[in-house]
Amino acid sequence: MNCHEFRGIADSYLSNELSVEGNHEIILHVDLCPSCRIELSARRELRSILRNAFVNAPQNQVRQNFARELSTQLRENVHANHPASQGPVPLNVIGRAWLAVAACLILAAVIGVVMFRELVLTPEKTVATQSVGGELIESAVGDHKNCAIKFRLAEKPVDLEIAGRQFDSVYINLKNSILSQQENLPVDAQFVEAHSCVYEGRRFAHVVFKYHGRLVSVLVTNASGIGAGSDRKPATPVQSSVIASSQTDGFQVAGFETVRHAIFVVSDLSEAENLALARALAPVLLEHISHNESST
Amino acid sequence: MLGRTANRETQQRGDDRWASFESEAMPHIASLFRVANWLTRDRSEAEDLVQETLTEALTSFHRFVLGTNCRAWLIAIMYHRQSKRRRTNMHLHLVSDPQERILETLIYEPSTPQDVTDEEVLQALERLPRSYQEVVTLADVEEMSYKEIAIALDIPVGTVMSRLSRGRKLLRVELASYAQARGFARRLTADSEGEGIRHELP
């Protein structure tokens, strides 16, 4: 290494941006070259002087109580979203929870009956979640818990548009489609964020809302090969869709599907509130996903 | 009973989430305030910006990969928030700059003066073009990597490297001029107290 080369990468060395080999070359050179040794020392000193001046400047000192006030406020925001802060659970809600558990046990039979009615009597309506079995529902609930609530997924979520180009084209513009219908959503349903994430090997498009202080997950996943059949009718956008509702692991799940995708709305809202959100979102989701499926 | 159990579970989830965020993100408040104060030039606005940044970070905490540089992640969020507030000011582009051309041919690299005050250092930094100030501050004060700076400022890594290199050179030139001016003043003072002869420095 000559002095010119040294001066070209000395800054990167000081910023710890060089490889191990690069670092060794720098060290070897300054060992042999006094002027470059002085130069390196001057640059290092400049960084130190600048850092000390900036960090110690009176105007850059944070106000004494600011950190404590901010911490208290953020912590309150976290707990304000959880129902435990709202006092004891009313008895009628507990009673409804038992009913929801019972509904889970006979879900398959109920869906079959509903499907028969919908297919035979109103063929233009959306096919119900006959093939959306417990496995998918559990995955959806697991993703809601571990992504939206706990922020602990093994794989980092990715941007929805990027995931759409890479994994599933229905994700493209999915967020915009949902948000374009925001006036049809309940008044205080607020969009939080959208991304694509993976839970136990299954990829979802994940749109998160906040409604009545609770987090709500709208999850779209490719359900091809899970009960999907060639005789499945393509979904058509309709005002009301057949939506199955159940409770799993303490969460309300409303589900419906298209030819190749299953869609879930998961939250710890009441069954009625969760279902209301699902009904509001179903038309735009079905239209977006079905349109995408038919063009691929 | 099911309802109470569910409530306890969600309360616990909230506690876990806060505990994780508190240990990872909250220790960086002082650092965030420094950067915010530099960005906004106003303490009150800086506090607002820090609050907005941490609120957004708390909401998006599931996007943060544990074990990576949380401070750099928070600063990137802060820049994003600041760009929403002042959109036009954030779209900086390097225009033809005579100072740059001088820097390209600069052979003389002054040594770092020993006796500059903190205030003079900060004033010298202020005299740099803002695009250089930004990169020098994030690299040398906040010790962010080239890649982290590139993400926060939404510029290529190569641009980070060139601005950093030029910014540091220019900072040394600015500091040398302070030292030189002080040396000139010191000589003037000594001469007036001594034999009354002034020496003009080049």
pLDDT tens-digit series, residues A94-146: 566 777 777 777 777 777 776 766 655 554 443 344 445 678 888 899 999 88
Q: What is the chain B residue with the closest CA to A195?
A: B63
Identity of the residue in B2, B11, B38 whose CB atom sits nearest the CB atom of A94: B2
Neighbours of A88 (CB within 10 A): 10
* Mean local confidence (pLDDT), A228-250: 57
**CA geometry: angle at A89 spanning A83 and A95, to 5°?**
125
Please indicate whether, in this complex, the C-beta atoms of A42 and B111 are within 8 angstroms of each other: yes
Report residue B83's pLDDT band, with 50, 70 and 90 as the boundaries: confident
User: How many angstroms separate the CA of residue A233 from the nearest CA in chain B?
Assistant: 37
For residue B102, pLDDT over 50 is answered with no
Window from A27-31, A226-230, B82-86, B184-188 with minimum mean pLDDT? A226-230
* Mean local confidence (pLDDT), A145-170: 84
Please indicate whether, in this complex, the C-beta atoms of B34 and A55 are within 8 angstroms of each other: yes
Could you tell me which residue, A89 or A52, shows the higher pLDDT? A52
Angle between helices A66-80 and B29-40 (to 10 degrees): 110
What are the CA-CA distances from residue B76 to residues B22, B35, B56, B90, B111 (Å)? 18, 11, 11, 13, 33
Question: What tokens does B191 get?
Answer: 């001469």
For residue B96, pLDDT over 60 is answered with no
**Predicted local distance difference test score (pLDDT) of residue B36:** 94
Which percentage of chain A shows pLDDT scores above 90?
A: 19
Residue from A50, A78, A196 whose CB has the most chain B CBs within 10 Å, to mutate: A50
Please indicate whether, in this complex, the C-beta atoms of A79 and B165 are within 8 angstroms of each other: no
Indicate the DSSP class of residue A230.
Answer: T
Q: Could you tell me if A64 lies within 8 Å of chain B, comparing CB atoms?
A: no
Residue-wise pLDDT for A11-59, tens only, equals: 899 888 898 888 999 999 999 999 999 999 988 988 998 999 999 898 8
Is the dihedral angle over the CA atoms A161, A166, A167, A168 positive or is it negative? Answer: positive
**Predicted local distance difference test score (pLDDT) of residue A211:** 85
Q: Could you tell me if A78 lies within 8 Å of chain B, comparing CB atoms?
A: yes
Q: Are A252 and A274 in contact (CB under 8 A)?
A: yes
Question: What tokens does B179 get?
Answer: 């030292």
Report residue B88's pLDDT band, with 50, 70 and 90 as the boundaries: very low
User: How many angstroms separate the CA of residue B61 from the nearest CA in chain A?
Assistant: 6
Q: What is the chain B residue with the closest CA to A11?
A: B165
Angle between helices A3-14 and A20-32 (to 10 degrees): 130
Measured between beta carbons, which residues in chain B are less than 8 angstroms from residue A17?
Answer: 145-146
Question: What tokens does B118 get?
Answer: 């903190």
* Mean local confidence (pLDDT), B146-163: 91
Residue from B140, B164, B170 whose CB has the most chain A CBs within 10 Å, to mutate: B140
Measured between beta carbons, which residues in chain A are less than 8 angstroms from residue B125?
Answer: 50, 54
Distance (Å, rounded) from C-alpha B33 to C-alpha B46? 6
Distance (Å, rounded) from C-alpha B143 to C-alpha B141? 6
Q: What is the chain B residue with the closest CA to A267?
A: B10
Distance (Å, rounded) from C-alpha A189 to C-alpha B143? 40
Nearest Cα to Cα of residue B110 among B174, B65, B51: B174
Identity of the residue in B38, B118, B143 whose CB atom sits nearest the CB atom of A56: B118
Residues of A (205-264) whose Cβ lies below 8 Å from B: 250
- SS3 for chain A is CCHHHHHHHHHHHHCCCCCHHHHHHHHHHHHHCHHHHHHHHHHHHHHHHHHHHHHHCHHHCCCCCHHHHHHHHHHHHHHHCCHHHHCCCCHHHHHHHHHHHHHHHCHHHHHHHHHHHHHHHCCCCCCCCCCCCHHHHHHHHHHHHHHHHCCCCCCCCECHHHHHHHCCHHHCCHHHHHHHCHHHCCCCCEEEEEEEEEECCEEEEEEEEEECCEEEEEEEEECCCCCCCCCCCCCCCCCCCCCEEEEECCEEEEEEECCCEEEEEEECCCHHHHHHHHHHHHHHHHHHHHHHHHHC
Q: Could you tell me if A92 lies within 8 Å of chain B, comparing CB atoms?
A: no
Q: Which residue has the tokens 């998961």?
A: A266
Identity of the residue in A46, A57, A250 whose CB atom sits nearest the CB atom of B172: A46
Indicate the DSSP class of residue A184.
Answer: G
Dump the DSSP string for B8-77: HHHHHHHHHHHHHHHHHTGGGHHHHHHHHHHHHS-HHHHHHHHHHHHHHHHHTGGGS-TTS-HHHHHHHH
For residue A163, pLDDT over 80 is answered with yes
* Mean local confidence (pLDDT), A63-79: 86
What are the CA-CA distances from residue A149 to residues A143, A160, A189, B12, B21 (Å)? 9, 19, 17, 11, 13
Is the dihedral angle over the CA atoms A80, A84, A90, A96 positive or is it negative? Answer: positive
Task: Spell out a b/e string for B149-175, using b for 16 or more CB atoms within 10 Å of the CB, else e.
Answer: bbbbbebeeebbbebbbbbbbbbbbbb
**Predicted local distance difference test score (pLDDT) of residue A242:** 66
**Predicted local distance difference test score (pLDDT) of residue A121:** 54
Q: How far is it between the farthest Cα atoms of chain B?
A: 96
Identity of the residue in A15, A43, A75 whose CB atom sits nearest the CB atom of B18: A75
**Predicted local distance difference test score (pLDDT) of residue B66:** 84
Measured between beta carbons, which residues in chain B are less than 8 angstroms from residue A148?
Answer: 62
Q: Which residue has the tokens 């616990």?
A: B12
**Structural Rg of chain A based on CA atoms:** 28
Distance (Å, rounded) from C-alpha B138 to C-alpha A51? 10
Please indicate whether, in this complex, the C-beta atoms of A67 and B146 are within 8 angstroms of each other: no
Q: Which residue has the tokens 């010790």?
A: B143
* Mean local confidence (pLDDT), B116-137: 89
Please indicate whether, in this complex, the C-beta atoms of B34 and A16 are within 8 angstroms of each other: no
Distance (Å, rounded) from C-alpha B117 to C-alpha B101? 29
User: How many angstroms separate the CA of residue B118 from the nearest CA in chain A?
Assistant: 5
User: How many angstroms separate the CA of residue B191 from the nearest CA in chain A?
Assistant: 31
Pairing of strands A214-222, A202-211: antiparallel
Distance (Å, rounded) from C-alpha A174 to C-alpha A284? 9
* Mean local confidence (pLDDT), B40-62: 92
What ipTM was estimated for this complex?
A: 0.76
| C-alpha B163 chain-centroid distance | 13
Q: What is the chain A residue with the closest CA to B146?
A: A17
Q: Are B57 and B27 in contact (CB under 8 A)?
A: no
For residue A270, pLDDT over 80 is answered with yes
What are the CA-CA distances from residue A160 to residues A42, A76, A219, B152 (Å)? 47, 30, 12, 20
Please indicate whether, in this complex, the C-beta atoms of B17 and A54 are within 8 angstroms of each other: no
How much is the mean pLDDT over chain B?
78
Q: Are A140 and A264 in contact (CB under 8 A)?
A: yes
Q: Could you tell me if A47 lies within 8 Å of chain B, comparing CB atoms?
A: yes
Please indicate whether, in this complex, the C-beta atoms of A71 and B26 are within 8 angstroms of each other: yes
**Predicted local distance difference test score (pLDDT) of residue B113:** 65
For residue B188, pLDDT over 60 is answered with no
Q: What is the chain B residue with the closest CA to A69?
A: B51
